Structure 1
Amino acid sequence: MDRPTALVPRHYVAIGGHGPEDVVADPRGRILTGVSDGRILRVDGLTEPLDARVETLTDTGGRPLGLELLPDGDLLVCDAERGLLRVDLADGGVRVVADEVAGERLRFCSNIVALTDGSVYFTVSSRRYPLEQWIGDIVEHTGTGRLLRLAPGDDTPEVLLEGLQFANGLAPSADESFLVVAETGARRLTRYWLDGPSAGRSEPLADDLPGMPDNIWRGGPDGPIWVSLAGPRIPPLDLLHRAAPPVRRTAARIAVHAPYRPTGGIGVLAVDDEGQVVHHLSRGHSRYRMVTSVCEASGHLVLGSLWERGIALCEPPAVK
C-alpha cells in the first residue's frame, strides 16, 4: 500500500446532536445522518459551510445508524434498537420493515444498501453485544456478525452469511454482481458474490487494512468505494484475538466497563472493485476523532463519527 496522503480539514459543522455515525449524500448534495437521541437530520448548504442549515426530519424512537436513500425518496434506516425502518421524508413517518430474523429479535443493525432489483441487504454487527458495548465484541472477537437480505415484497429477512467479525459497512460492486462487507474486527473487506458461478460464496477482497473499517459508501458505479477507518491497527489486540475464548471473554468484560477515548489519528480509504487502494488519506493528530463514515458531497469529503457532535468537511483527494 502506498504511503498515505494528508487528510486536510476544511470546516466543522455542528449539528446539535451527538454521534452522526453514518453520513450519506442526497442528489442535491445535502447530508443525511442519524444521531444518538433518535433524530434523523439533514444538513444543507455545504457550499457555504459557515452558513450550513440543519433540519430535523424525523425521530425513529431508537438509535439510527446506517442509512440508504431509495429512488422514490424514502429513507431506509438500520436502527440499533428497533431493526430495519423505512422513513417517508415527505412527512417524517416511520415504519418498521423488519424487527426479527429466524425467530430472533433484530438488534444492532449496522449498514444497508438497496439494489436496482429492489433487494435490500443489511448487516448485523453483533448478536452478543448491544451498540453501547460495541467494544466488547471487538475485544472478544465473537464472529457473530451477519449479512441479511430482504427480497422485494418480503417482510422477513434471510441470513446470507454468518460468522463475520463485527459486520459493518456495505456497498455494491459497480455491476451489482457482488457486495463488499466491512469486517471491523478483522480489518478487512469481504466480497460476497450475488451472481455468477461463485454466487453465495464469500472471499477476502482487501485484507490487513491499516485500520478498522466502519461504514463504507459508493456514490455511483463510476466512483470508488469509500471506507472509513474508525481506529488504527492495534498490535496487542491482534495478539489477543489469537488467545483462547475464555481469555478474550474476560478481556471483553473489562473493556466494556473501562472508559473509552478514541485516538487522535484518523483515516479513510478508497478502493476499486478489485480491492486495490485508489486513495489512502490520513491525519496523525486530529481534533475530529473516530471517523465512522465518509461520503462525497458538494466538493468535500464528508466525515461522520460515533464520537463527535458534528460532521467534518475535508479536502477531496487529487484525481490519480
Structure 2
Amino acid sequence: MGLVRDMLCRLDRTGVDPVSWQAPAPPSELPDPAAEFDALERWPMPGSTGPEDVAVDGDGRLITGTDDGALWRYDHLDRPGAERVTRIADTGGRPLGVEVLADGRYLVCDAERGLLRVDDTGRVETLTDNALGRPLVACNNSAVGVDGIVYFTDSSAKFSIAEHRYDLLEHRGTGRLIRFDPVTGETDLLADGLQFANGVGLSRDGSFVVVAETGAYRIRRVDLTGPTAGRVSVWADNLPGIPDNVASQTAAGIFWVALYSPRMRLLDLLAPHPALRLLAANLPDALSPDPEPRAWVLGLDGDGTVAHNLRGPKGSYSPVTGVRESDGSLYLGSLTATAVARIPAPPTRV
C-alpha cells in the first residue's frame, strides 16, 4: 500500500495528506425514536443559492446569507402570502454563520473575508480576518454572549470551506475554536486540533460553549467559568449523522444541531486507509459518492443527550446546515438549497 500511496502522491492535485483513523460504528438507535415530519414550508431565494445558516431577530424576521455574497432578510413569514424578502448587503465573500447582535446589527462568519459586522444600511465592517497570528482560512460559525464576546470557528488551517471534502478526507484535525472581544479586537484560543470545527452554541448561563466536529461525528464542550474553566471535553459522541451548525441553548434547554446528512458508510470504511482516501480526494466530482438527501435535526439537552430526533423523508430538504428555533417553529438553512425552510418545533418537554 505504501508504493501505491507514493504513486498517488505524485499524481495528487489536491494537497491532501490523509492519516489513518478508525470511525466508530454508527449508533444502532437513538434514545428518542425518530419523529418524521412531512409538513415543510419553503421560501425560495430570489436568484441566489445556499442559505447556509439562519437567524431570527427580535421582530421575527429571518436573516440568511447566500453563495453570491448576499445577506437577506425575510419579513412577515407569519402571514402567508405577505412574505417579503430584502437584500440587506453584499459581503463580497461567502457568508455562512449569522447571528443577530443586541443592537440589531448582524454578525457574519464569512468564509472568504473573516468575521464581519453588517447593518441594515448595507455597511460591512471587518472585525477580524486573522486570529493568533494566523489568517482565517475557513471562518464558519459563531455564538455571541450577553457580554458581546464572540465565539467562532476557523474550520481548517489548510482547506477553504469550498474544499471541505478534502479536510474530511485528510482528517488531520486543524480546526480551532476562537474567542474574540469586539471591544479590544483581541482573540484567544479555546480549542484546537478539531476535526473540521463547525457549529458553535452557548449555554443559557454562559458557563460553557459547544463546538461541532464535523469530521469526527461529535460535539465538544469548553467550560468558560468556574474551577474547570478552559477544560475541553467530549459532550456528544458518535452522532448518527454529520453535524454542521449548532444553535445556542433555548429557554427550554435545547441545543439544536443541524445534520448535513446521515453517516456515509463508504467514508467510514475508508477511514483506516489513507491511500484510498487520497484516491477518493482526486476523483472527479461526478464520481464522488453523494450523501443521502434527507432533512435531519437533533435537539440535545444540556448534558448532550438527544431529546428530539426529527427527520424528513428521503429526498426532503437537504443538506440541512443551519437550524434556529423561534415562536414554535424550526427554521432551516442549507449549503446548496435554493430556499429556506420551516417545520413545526416539537412540544417543550418538562
TM-score normalized by the length of structure 2: 0.85
| Structure-1 residue corresponding to 2:56 | 25
Q: Is 2:340 the partner of 1:307?
A: no
Deviations 1:248-294 (CA, angstroms, capped at 9, x unpaired): 34432337675564422221011111111110001231332100011
Question: What is the Cα deviation at residue 115 of structure 1?
Answer: 0.8
2: CA distance between counterparts of 1:102 and 1:292?
Answer: 28
Contact 1:69–1:75 at 8 Å: present in 2 too? yes
| Structure-1 residue corresponding to 2:73 | 42
Name stretches of at least 5 consecutive residues in structure 1 with no aligned partner: none
- Which sits farther off after the overlay, 156-165 or 53-62? 156-165
Contact 1:111–1:215 at 8 Å: present in 2 too? yes
Q: Is 2:92 the partner of 1:61?
A: yes
Q: Is 2:306 the partner of 1:277?
A: yes
Q: What is the SS of the residue equivalent to 2:259?
A: strand
Contact 1:33–1:42 at 8 Å: present in 2 too? yes
Contact 2:148–2:181 at 8 Å: present in 1 too? yes
Question: What is the Cα deviation at residue 123 of structure 1?
Answer: 0.4
In terms of Rg, which structure is larger?
2
Amino acid at match of 1:121: Y
Question: What is the Cα deviation at residue 176 of structure 1?
Answer: 0.8
Deviations 1:60-82 (CA, angstroms, capped at 9, x unpaired): 01000001111111111100000
Q: Is 2:189 the partner of 1:196?
A: no
Contact 1:25–1:297 at 8 Å: present in 2 too? yes
Question: What is the Cα deviation at residue 204 of structure 1?
Answer: 0.9
| Structure-1 residue corresponding to 2:216 | 186
TM-score normalized by the length of structure 1: 0.93
Runs of 4+ that moved beyond 6 A: none
- Which sits farther off after the overlay, 203-212 or 113-122? 113-122
| Structure-2 residue corresponding to 1:76 | 107
Change (3 A) 1:135 1:219: same
2: CA distance between counterparts of 1:243 and 1:229?
Answer: 25
Change (3 A) 1:7 1:220: same
Question: What is the Cα deviation at residue 157 of structure 1?
Answer: 2.2
Q: Pick from 124, 144, 154 the counterpart of residue 124 of structure 1.
A: 154
Amino acid at match of 1:104: R
2: CA distance between counterparts of 1:164 and 1:14?
Answer: 34
Change (3 A) 1:15 1:51: farther
Within-5 A mapping of 1:147-226? 147-218=177-248, 220-226=250-256
Deviations 1:100-136 (CA, angstroms, capped at 9, x unpaired): 1233221211101111222111001112211212111
Change (3 A) 1:118 1:301: closer
2: CA distance between counterparts of 1:68 and 1:204?
Answer: 25
Quick one: percent identity of the two aligned structures? 43
1: CA distance between counterparts of 2:192 and 2:277?
Answer: 20
Change (3 A) 1:197 1:254: farther
Question: What is the Cα deviation at residue 197 of structure 1?
Answer: 1.9
| Structure-2 residue corresponding to 1:52 | 83
Q: Is 2:168 the partner of 1:138?
A: yes
Amino acid at match of 1:235: R
Contact 2:57–2:104 at 8 Å: present in 1 too? no
Q: What is the SS of the residue equivalent to 1:254?
A: coil
- Which sits farther off after the overlay, 2-11 or 61-70? 2-11
Within-5 A mapping of 1:76-95? 76-89=107-120, 91-95=121-125
Contact 2:42–2:340 at 8 Å: present in 1 too? yes
Give the structure with the higher percent strand: 1
